[in-house]
A = this chain, B = another copy of it.
């Protein structure tokens, strides 16, 4: 059996984990909202029409932050359509997904629901078809106490206290030609700057995320960020990154190396931020909001131009396999590894639409395979990320070149002294022995090893078999001479929790 060795030493820190790294995303798309989180006639629905079974799974997932209402949807959205008496709300033709938006759920309902499930909204403004005024009015509506037109309208609509939404996205993927109201870098930079300024004047306490590239392969990647940040640097707090991964053809080895790609993407955007910081002689740092990431089989989606108009149709309801879950776990390791600069991340999306939670109209809700690494990392990956540099065998991929077979990171919970190690074994056939040098933390001992793997790496959880794939507790952790040893099954995601004796 091959060996991998790594050392855990609290003297070598990357940074504190911002809990917002475990955010999620609800877009008015497909069945994420309607028959996803919201379904008035459902057996478990609460008084506001939100599904109790889905809410229960969301609470289990416990995202500290849920991005809303898009996504591409927001670039044609009129937020005023979604507030006030429901019988007066118009049905709109949404062009992002060629869907009919009934506006039954709007920001008031959504915000109350996020609080009910223990989360916070991260709100996006429409910079596709709208501009400064719509955005400033929205912040006034959500965050101003009262005494002005829009804040008083919120009060009349039933919310006396401000929603107090602290985190805002300046549009969504504005570099994408598919986006309604797509902008050039120069156009977006100017609009984002002026909108940011006005929004901050309404509520100086808010934080703002400016759009970076929609993905790394955009022809404007890098120059977009440089142009946008040069114009907006002092007005924004974060720049966004989006990335989706999928297996192409039979090339599972490359797919398993997705985390390596994410590392490079993150490091490239950090470089651009710091380049603009230097050139502009700015003091503060702009950090990263990886506010859309996941496994997504985009090749299965024909694109919005080919959709017939429908009301909350089934869109991109990908069913995730064990391999997909291992990749999701691996991407979380990449995010943690950059905890010093990546402060926010949103698994896209929360329910049904490429989501960890699935639900059926009038039917049950269940956890996809990807639910598990996401929930466990979120629950246990809090504290200080340590610098972990595994000495691992490598394998060759067509996409990312030579990549390590094992990727890992560790989070040190300083109060309790516990260390949680997250690791993936990308070897599709062989288990690996992992040796963890803990001489710098001699009191660590008790180890718990949970792993996600399966004889059938293509196994999924379905309505009829919702718990086909779940994490397994392994009783293989051994301690000897300052070294902890465990075995990582073939093609597995692993969490090893070490507590003080």
Contacts and interface: CB of A to CB of B under 8 A. Distances in A.
A91 interface: yes
A200 interface: yes
Contacts of A98: 201
A132 B202 contact: no
A148 interface: yes
Given A190-B184, A190-B187, A305-B204, A148 B95 contact: no
B90 A149 contact: yes
A85 to B, nearest CB: 16
Given A132-B129, A180-B198, A190-B187, A92 B304 contact: no
Contacts of A148: 90-93, 100
Contacts of A144: 93, 309
A100 to B, nearest CB: 6
Contact of A91 (B95, B152, B194, B198): B152
Nearest to A149: B90
Contacts of A128: 132
Interface string A299-320: 0000011000101000000000
Residue from the set A132, A152, A177 with the largest chain B CB neighbour count within 10 Å:
A132
A76 B201 CA distance: 12
B133 A91 contact: no
A44 B218 CA distance: 62
A413 interface: no
A147 B91 contact: yes
Contact of A305 (B93, B150, B193, B201): B201
B304 A201 contact: yes
Nearest to A93: B148
A250 to B, nearest CB: 31
Given A132-B129, A147-B91, A197 B180 contact: yes
A190 B177 CA distance: 11
A308 B311 CA distance: 44
Contacts of A187: 190
A92 B149 contact: yes
A255 to B, nearest CB: 31
Residue from the set A90, A95, A98, A144 with the largest chain B CB neighbour count within 10 Å:
A95
A208 to B, nearest CB: 14
A95 B180 contact: no
A136 interface: yes
Interface in A60-105: 76, 90-93, 95, 98, 100
Nearest to A305: B204
B180 A132 contact: yes
Interface string A409-446: 00000000000000000000000000000000000000
A140 interface: yes
A147 B91 CA distance: 7
Interface in A101-136: 128-129, 131-133, 136
Contacts of A133: 129
Closest CB pairs A-B (n = 6): A90-B149, A95-B201, A93-B148, A129-B133, A129-B132, A91-B148
Given A91-B148, A93-B140, A93-B144, 13 more contacts: A76-B136, A90-B149, A91-B147, A92-B148, A129-B198, A132-B181, A147-B311, A177-B197, A180-B197, A180-B201, A181-B198, A200-B305, A204-B305
